[in-house]
Structure 1
């Protein structure tokens, strides 16, 4: 891998990780369309570390309230509103963790094809569009979340293990369908991204260490830095217009992308 390839893939990762258009689909398709070799496990870990740094930086105020409140709650077994959000994030992460551990190998072997990506991009894009159209009168904020709704959102997040689904897209879809505002849906989806990115990153990091392959540190650091910067900028831009514009531009993009993939494959 050279620096140009690393920068292009890092930009792609940074743009699509937190937008409802599926990062896994783009990271699979872009190298195939450009005729590049697989970027490898080390680079995947690097760009995911970059996006993790970006989301932590973007949510630094919320995280600085949630983490201490959750830890403090253990002293008397009582958690305030911020501590309870911490619990909700944990609950929402359990389904994707269980499904990932149980079906990781099956997904890697059977669900990374172009047709699967095209189909899931289209189906879950249309579902996002339906939820967004019906979300114009939504008024619920994150404070309204309870554990039952969080389980639903967590189960929805587990579907994102199917390439083309989009983790942020499916979680925002679930939250919109449950009556939450676009801003609340986007922000809680970003909060859910912290463990959702960190835990697989740790597993991939373990695999990388065990593989003992030669590491191109300058290229990895470039990829991590570029993906972090681009992801941080994208989150800021997304939050500025999502409540006014909604999800329809992303729905249209997903429909066009799925059509393009089908055409290329047939």
Structure 2
């Protein structure tokens, strides 16, 4: 692929990964609506590594606590906030891993990558996000996360395997329904993304075993770096705007893009 194509893919992945607008939908649509070739697994893994690095850096305080807590959790102890956070993240990740594995082995994951599916998902889950954001109570913060809420948000996260749903969008929706503030719902969603992205990258990485091309190191470096910068920018901007702006602008974007996609799909 040309350097321009790599930068474009990395930019789209980075900007949309943590915004509630579905990064997977944009990456699926890119080759479908343009003359660009499908980016392939190598670029996908590189983009995941870039966005993963960005969210870890931005939420490093929470990540450091969870890492320390993971060591205690492995010894069967849940006696610190870090250990409890690590347990909640583990529980919240299980549903998407199980459902993702089932969809992959049955081939349903490929069957759902159509423009019509993405269009409907963009619109339907955009409306659900708007409803949750406008009607959901504002009474909880991330420090009050419970195991029950981790399970609920984890189940919602599994729905994001439908292209166009948006992993961040659906988990933020769940968080708002559960009463978390906008910024804290987003914070929990971003923390949940870390083990999910790791699991996704690992799954994609297994498909690359035996097919890795040393000449692809340049492409990997470009995509990883660009997606990191773009994701960090988008994440920083969104978290700052949430102090004064609702999720409505993202909902409007979802409805507009979803309508265009349905027009394309059914015309």
Q: Counterparts in 2 of 1:105-254, with a 5 A limit?
A: 105-135=106-136, 137-213=137-213, 215-254=215-254
**1:69 positional shift:** 2.8
Q: Distance in 1 between matches of 2:70 and 2:9?
A: 36
- For structure 1, the 5+ residue unaligned runs are none
> Would you say the 8 A contact 2:6–2:223 is kept in 1?
yes
* Cα separation, partners in 2 of 1:36 and 1:181, compared to 1, 3 Å: same
Normalization by structure 2: what TM-score? 0.95
Q: Distance in 2 between matches of 1:209 and 1:194?
A: 23
SS at match of 2:210: helix
* Cα separation, partners in 2 of 1:257 and 1:77, compared to 1, 3 Å: same
Q: Distance in 2 between matches of 1:78 and 1:50?
A: 31
Q: Distance in 1 between matches of 2:212 and 2:72?
A: 40
- For structure 2, the 5+ residue unaligned runs are none
**Cα RMSD, aligned residues only:** 1.5
Normalization by structure 1: what TM-score? 0.95
Q: Deviations over 1:83-113 (max 9, x none)?
A: 2111101000000011111122433331000
Q: Distance in 2 between matches of 1:193 and 1:145?
A: 16
Q: Distance in 1 between matches of 2:66 and 2:214?
A: 39
**1:162 positional shift:** 0.6
Aligned length: 265
